[in-house]
Each structure stands twice: as structure tokens, then as C-alpha cells.
Structure 1
Amino acid sequence: MRADLTLLRRAALVLALVGPAFGQGAAPLPQDLEALNYYVSSGDTAAAEAELRRLRAQFPEWEVPSDLTTLGQRSPAEEIDRIYRLIADGELAEARRTMEETTRIFPGWVPPAEMVQLLDTAEAQAAFDSAAASGDAALAVEIARRSPQILRCDRVNNAWRLAEMQVALGQTAAAVQSYRGVITSCTGLPEISATLEKADAVASDAELADLFRLASGQLPGAGPALKALETRLRSGRGAAPAVATDLPAAGRPRTAGTAAAAASPRVGGGSGSSAVRAAAARGDWTRCAALTAGATSAEVLYERAWCVYNLDRPLEALWAFEPAASGRLGGQVARDARFGKALAFLALQMTEEAARIAAATDLTDQQRVEVEAIILDQRGVRSYRLKEYRRAIAYFDAYEDLTGGLRRDLALLRAYAWLNIGKRAEAKRLFTELNDQLATPETRAGLAASR
């Protein structure tokens, strides 16, 4: 051992004589300090001093620390980066072990609050997913209770899954409370509306009314959309719609059975995926929605989007279409998902949002005709209701040019629009055509008014 140290000492003295000719920078690298660290740790003061003189000559700008024992310590920076990488890769147990070890090695280092929160949340999410996947509803509920951070709005799917498991445990009141938490915390119309649709299955009439009241306060600018949703949900419960109208409803997209079959990418393998495909293929949308509840992958969410859309749950479909629409499953699927989003917006009477998607997407000819026809339909009906009769006529004419025909209810509106701008001759011609095709009280009233 002493002989080895003597050789090292002599080598250090030779290098010291050479001096700056071997300079490599302002400060030595960790590998440059290996010999010095060895001498210091072994208590060989003479060798350490000789090595230190060599390093000073080689790195003249280097500021030597007063305590040479600190030179052998690692920097926590490398470990911090490693911990974040482990969390990102899902290696949570290793990330936790590394964080604890780093705290021991560097007593003065305290893990950043952001790192601790990120790891805690990732661990809670993994535990929640595992419990839910295994069907252990009680454990999943307990994990969510202990880790409320996994129920934030950016993880709204967890809150929905929690409510479903609470229902499975017979905790209906708790499920309603979970839905209430989403509505009072989130600020996105799609998330809140989808939550209201889910709550409809378990909430009483009074509870549902209270949830809509909370939603209206949270989204004061979304009154019409929320009112339309509440009317539809209450109609489904057998209640009378809140608002009646003598006008035909603006156009709604067709049921997307054929669109789902044509556009939906088949999800990956596994018996669960096969069951989803089978349910969608036979149009069993309820079964499909049940099988895909709590899905997180873009593929399964895309399947779910078409199924819940066909269940007249367009807001939930909007959320489920989003991962595929952003391009995660490839260009063609992204196009079809954006087509689905446009249909969902149109089902919500959000015409301009649908028009923006259509304008920015390279839809197929069939998709474009379908979307643009509904847009023209809704714009025409809306213009008529606003007494913008010339604009309504223009929209209805464009609809006819696009599709090669005009639905009878829209044709009646167009005839009345001509009558309302004082063009009685054109109105009479149109009412006559409609009356000759099928005489009804509406066509006879139109003919009488245009004479």
C-alpha cells in the first residue's frame, strides 16, 4: 500500500514540474480529482499536498475549497435530474429510493416541493389506476380520499371514475358530491357539461337542479348551452321541456353509426378491446360506453367518443375525441376525430365552433357535405328566428345547392322568409309547390297569407 502511494506521489511531482502545459480548463473535472480524493480520504497528507500543487499548476484559475474533503462529494444536480427522469418514465419506486438516498448523501439538500408533489401525485395515480383496474372500488375510493390532487380538473377522468365506483359501493350521495366537486372547481364547458350528463344517472331532480345552478354560476357565459342540456336531461326523465317553440329545430347531425364504423381505428388487442369493438359494431352504444368507462388511452377514448356521441352525450364525446384529434393516432384518425368533434359541436348547437373546425380540417367530401349542410341549416334557422330573413333565405338556398334538395320544414321557413320581406309572389310560388306536394294546414296558411 505504501509503495503504491510512493509511486503516486512521484508521479504527482513529475506532473507538477510539467505544470500548465497540460492545462485543461479553469477547474478540474471529477476524474482529475480522483488521486487527490484518494490521498485525502486515506490520510496521506504529503501526497495530497503534492497532488494539490500539481492541480494548482494545471488549473491556475481554480479556487481550491478550504475543506478538501468536500471534493469527493457528488453534486445533487445529477441526482435531481435523474429523479425527474424516473418519475417521467413511471419508475416511481426507484425515484422514491433515489430521492431518499440523495437526502442522506447531501444532508443540506431538501427535495423541492414541486418534486415531492409530482412524485406523490404520480404514486397516487398509479395506485388509483391499479385499484380501479382490479375492481377494488373501496380501495380506489380510499386512495382518492387521501390524495385529492388526483381529482383536479386536469385529471377530471379520475373524478368521474371515482363517482362511478362510489355508485358501485352504494354511495350515491358521495357520487353526487364528487360530481359537485368537478362543477365547482372546473371552468371548461365540456368538462362541466359532461359531468352534468353523468350526474343525471344518479342525482335526484332537486340535486340535478342544484348542480345546474352551480354550473350556471361557474360559467355565466354558457347559459344557452346549459339550458339546452338541462332541458334535454329533464325531458329524458319525463319532465316537460322548459321551452317550447313553433319553429323547427335547427339541424342535428345524424346518428354516427356509419361514421363510427368507417372512421374508428380498431383498438389494441385484449378481450376488453374485442368486447368494445363488438359492442360498437352491433350499435350497442350503452355497452360500449360501459366497457370504456375510465379509459385513458387515445385509442379506447376514440372508440368511446363515437359511442357516447350516439347516446346523445355530445359534450362527453367532445372530450373523448380530443386525444385523437390532436394527432396521437395518425393523420387520418385525427381528421375523423375532428369530424366527430364538429358533429358534437353541432349537436350542441355550437355552430360557429363546428365551422372553425371544418374550415381547418381536410375533411373527406362526404364529411364536408354533412357538416356544411348542418351548419347552413342551423345558421338559416337562427337567422330566421332573429328576423334576418334575407340572410336566412341565402343560407337555405346554399343548403339546397349543396345537398340537391331542401327539407320540408326548411322549405316552409324559406317561403315565410320571402313573405316577411314583402315578396308575396315568390312566397306564393313556394307555398304552392309545397301544397301541391302535400297539403297541410301550414301550406294552406302560407298560401292564404301570400295572396
Structure 2
Amino acid sequence: MLPSLKPLLLSGVALAASLIAAAPVAAAELSAAELRALRYYVEQGDRRSAEAEIRRLRGLHPDWTPPVNLEALRSMTEAKAGPGEEENRVWKLIEVGNWTAASGRLAHLRATYPDWEPPAEMVRLIAMGEAQSKFDAAVTSGDAATAIQVARTSPAILRCDRVNNAWQLATMQKKVGDTQGALTTYRGVLGSCGDGSIVVATLEKANEVATDGQLAALADAARQSHPGLRASVEAVETRLMAGRGGATTSAQPRTAAAPAPQTQVQSQPQAPTPAPVAVATPARAVAPSNLPATGDGRVSAVRAAARAGNWTGCLAGSTNPRSVDLLYERAWCAMNRDRSLEALAAFRVASTAPLGAVVQRDARFGMALAFLENQMTEDAARIASVTNLTEKQRIEVETIILDQRGVRAYQKDDYRGAINYLNALEKLNGSIRRDLAILRAYAYLNAGERTVARDEFQRLHDQLATNETRKGLNAAMR
């Protein structure tokens, strides 16, 4: 249970009350199965999921009043003939992303308890997770036909909060020569997703397959669907059109040089707690690609060294790994010793080894970080786009990607691109590093937006007056 929610849960489901301004006198009654997911989220202290579940139930049943306390919620969800604790095991499998096991366990419970109705949210999450897993596997292996089929039968994976799936679908459609299908996918994104960075990125991706007329039509569709983004759409359309047929963009002359920003790859993270892996009898050393999943008896000692931050001891104790679980532990230690290419090779092996969904996900997260450490930004983006990262992992990776893309765009004199990337970075994190804020101010200046640039430099100068901000202000006032 989350410490910050413990008092809340002891006093009842107070979070429900905060979502309802005035509850109706006559309240709808929901079945135990419909409320079971809410009970699980509350008992786990997962406030965000509980609030989302209450909103979902209120949307389906406007007359429903959430229970006033946890005891009432328990009494409403006690099943007369249900799986009890067995059901929680399914939720645990969902939490770790083991969709195959979760689906199998759910099928078993349905057969064992024929009168039991599983929570709709459980069924939905498992279906979504299985579809995402199949789609990711198909994209990774280049199996376009399967990826397209999965997207057709499970359109929920193409929602705006999973926009990478739609972009990957379009890539697969292009691979099989279905250009029209790819354009239709891009049009769907532009019509449904109102985030400016998504709209701009989608037009940029569509530019690879669209004719001049088709690109113009997509831009028109974006403007009609999102009038507030008209300026952004017109800017990216102008830039893309100018770059066609070998033409070059009529860029504004560079009026001032920005100081070099600090290249960001965040400090290497501590190795995440890996999923428990049973240790079997040690095997003799073999090539990494042929290693068994488990079996190297040194894994416990190596994990202990990693947890203590003893990267040198971890690497010394894991030479010539005899199992992938040890190779995986070694990868994180190599990352923390600035040996990112060695780590990348190890993560690549672990990402497909039968060590469970959590290890595979974290290994792919490690691959993304290793790519970013070597300024291989687009490789990292591709890995991230086909991996169901945790929210924290995704924010960390996307932060570095936007940082590197913003700096690179500026270095290529693509000032508008730099502004867009750095604005997206600020939106993602709620703030932006000072050196990048200065770089963005110079990007505004070089893009011809002198007033915006002056205001940015003044804001930064008011926060902390330095030679850099003085130079920026002087350049903006010429």
C-alpha cells in the first residue's frame, strides 16, 4: 500500500467523493463484478487507477454513487461463489505485463467458477495487453501482415495515448506497398489526436509517402480538426513543401550564435529490480546468443554488488557469463561504468530471453539508454516506440530524445524544429534546463521571432543574470 494513501484508505474511499460534486438521491446499484476492479485499486493504494475507474463507472452509470468507505466497498464486492484471492493473482500478472499467463489464469477461473463474472476492466486490459504484445512482436520481426491484422482486430491499440502504434502501423503498410492505407492511418491520427507535437510529427512522417496534393490534403484535415493548431500546421507544411524536389528552405540568416548546450544523457540509472529468476545448475561458458536463461551460480552475489553500487565488483564477478540472467545484471553495471556499447550488446540478448516480461521490458529500456548514450537518437526512439515502457521509463527516454533532437535541429539550422522539440520537452517535464532554454531563445531569434526571443532572454536574465543572458539580450535588441 502506498504510504501517502494509507490514511485515506483507513477512513474510506474518500477519493470517490472528490470526483462527484453532488450525488443523486437514488443511486444505481452495480454488481460485485463491476466493482471488483475499483476495490482492487483502492486496496493497493493506486489512487490514479481508482480515480480513473470511478470516472469510467460514472460514465457508464450516471446515477451510481461510489461507496462511502472501504468496508462498504468490500461488502458490495464479496462474491458468493467466486475465485477470491485467485482473482488477485490475475491482477498481479496484469501488473507485470505477463499477458499470456494472465489470459490463461482467467480462462482457468472462468472454467472453475462458471457463475463468476470477471471484471470488465480485467478482460479489457488482458485483451489490450495481448494485442499490444502481438503487435510489438510483429513489428520487431518485420512481419507486416501480422502487425496489420492485429491492428485491424484490436483498434484500441491505436489510441492517441499509444500513437506510436499508429505510426508503426503506417510503416508496416508502406512496407507491403499499401501507401493509401498508410495515408489513411496518418489521416486518422491527425483527425483524432489534438496534441501539437503529435500532429507535427505525423505530418513529417506522412511526408515520406505523400504526394504534394496528398500532403496538402492531410494538412487541411489537421487544420479543420484542430483550429488552434493552424499556425503550427502551416509552419510544418511550408517547411515540408519547401524541402521537396531538391528545393531548400529559405531559412532566416543566423543572427547570433548560441552557446553550446550540455548534451544530455541523464546520469545512469540504478539497475531496476529484476523479476525473480530461479538459479539452476551452472552451465559451462558459451557465446551470449546461445546462453541458457538461468544457471550461473554467481548471480546472487552479482546482484548484491549491483544493489550496493559496486559496479567494479559486479563486473569482476560476472566475467564470461554462463546464463542470460547474469548477463542482464552485468549489462546494468556496464552502463553505470560508462561501457554503454558492451551494455547494449548484453541488453539485446536479454530482451528476447525467457526471463519474463519485466526483464524483457527493462532490457529494452536499457537498450534505449545505451543508444542515447551514443547519440543514436532515432534507434532509441524506434526501440521505445515498440516497447511497453513504464511511465517513468518512457518519460526518461522521451526526455533525452527530445533534448538530443532539439540540439541537433538547432545545429542543422532548423530553428523551428528546435523550438518544437524543446517546447515538447518542456511540456513533458513541466520545465526545461537553463542551457536549453537559452538555446531555444536563440532559435526564436534566428527564426525571426525577435520579440519572443527578447522576452525569453529577459525572463532568464531576471532569474539569474549571466554573460550568456546579457549577450542574448544584446543580440535580440539589435
Q: TM-score, normalised by structure 2?
A: 0.49
1:101 aligns with 2:108: yes
1:259 aligns with 2:329: no
2:207 corresponds in structure 1 to: 200
Listed as ranges, the matches of 1:424-435 within 5 Å are none
Partners of 2:122 and 2:160 in 1: CA distance: 20
Opposite residue 112 of structure 1, the aligned amino acid is P
1:58 corresponds in structure 2 to: none
1:139 corresponds in structure 2 to: 146
Sort the Cα spacing of 1:205 and 1:406 in 2 relative to 1 into closer, same or farther, 3 A. same
1:284 corresponds in structure 2 to: none
2:177 corresponds in structure 1 to: 170
Secondary structure of the structure 2 residue equivalent to 1:76: coil
Partners of 1:308 and 1:236 in 2: CA distance: 25
Q: 1:111 aligns with which of 111, 115, 118?
A: 118
Shift of 1:225: 2.0
Q: 1:124 aligns with which of 127, 131, 135?
A: 131
1:269 aligns with 2:339: no
2:439 corresponds in structure 1 to: 374
2:419 corresponds in structure 1 to: 349
Q: Is the 8 A contact 1:189 1:219 kept in 2?
A: no
Listed as ranges, the matches of 1:326-345 within 5 Å are 328=393, 339-340=403-404, 343=407
Partners of 1:308 and 1:174 in 2: CA distance: 33
1:82 corresponds in structure 2 to: 89
Opposite residue 436 of structure 2, the aligned amino acid is V
Q: Is the 8 A contact 1:324 1:334 kept in 2?
A: no
Sort the Cα spacing of 1:385 and 1:112 in 2 relative to 1 into closer, same or farther, 3 A. same
1:189 corresponds in structure 2 to: 196
Secondary structure of the structure 2 residue equivalent to 1:259: coil
1:217 aligns with 2:251: no
Sort the Cα spacing of 1:379 and 1:149 in 2 relative to 1 into closer, same or farther, 3 A. closer
Q: Is the 8 A contact 1:380 1:393 kept in 2?
A: no
Q: Is the 8 A contact 1:137 1:169 kept in 2?
A: yes
Shift of 1:147: 1.2
Partners of 1:84 and 1:223 in 2: CA distance: 44
Partners of 2:429 and 2:157 in 1: CA distance: 35
Sort the Cα spacing of 1:175 and 1:83 in 2 relative to 1 into closer, same or farther, 3 A. same
Same amino acid, percent of matched pairs:
29
Whichever structure has more helix as a proportion of its residues is 1
Sort the Cα spacing of 1:181 and 1:102 in 2 relative to 1 into closer, same or farther, 3 A. same
Partners of 2:238 and 2:167 in 1: CA distance: 22
Q: 1:151 aligns with which of 150, 153, 158?
A: 158
Opposite residue 167 of structure 2, the aligned amino acid is W
Shift of 1:106: 2.6
Partners of 1:95 and 1:213 in 2: CA distance: 44
Shift of 1:176: 1.0
Shift of 1:357: 8.7
Backbone CA RMSD of aligned residues: 5.2
Q: Is the 8 A contact 2:174 2:182 kept in 1?
A: yes
Listed as ranges, the matches of 1:230-241 within 5 Å are 230-238=237-245
Opposite residue 83 of structure 1, the aligned amino acid is V
Opposite residue 371 of structure 1, the aligned amino acid is L
Opposite residue 154 of structure 1, the aligned amino acid is D
Sort the Cα spacing of 1:90 and 1:405 in 2 relative to 1 into closer, same or farther, 3 A. closer
Opposite residue 349 of structure 1, the aligned amino acid is I
Partners of 1:414 and 1:254 in 2: CA distance: 18
Describe the superposition over 1:303-341 as per-residue Cα deviations: whole angstroms up to 9, x where unpaired. 777999989xxxx89x98xx999864999x898667447
Partners of 1:359 and 1:92 in 2: CA distance: 33
Partners of 1:107 and 1:348 in 2: CA distance: 58
Sort the Cα spacing of 1:98 and 1:402 in 2 relative to 1 into closer, same or farther, 3 A. same
Which of 1 and 2 has higher RCO (CA within 8 Å, sep 6+)? 2
Q: Which moved more, 1:219-228 or 1:171-180?
A: 219-228
> Could you list the runs of 5+ residues in structure 2 that have no partner in the other structure?
1-79, 269-334, 350-361
Q: Is the 8 A contact 1:172 1:202 kept in 2?
A: yes
> Could you list the runs of 5+ residues in structure 1 that have no partner in the other structure?
1-72, 275-294, 416-451
Instruction: Work out the number of aligned pairs and report it.
Output: 303
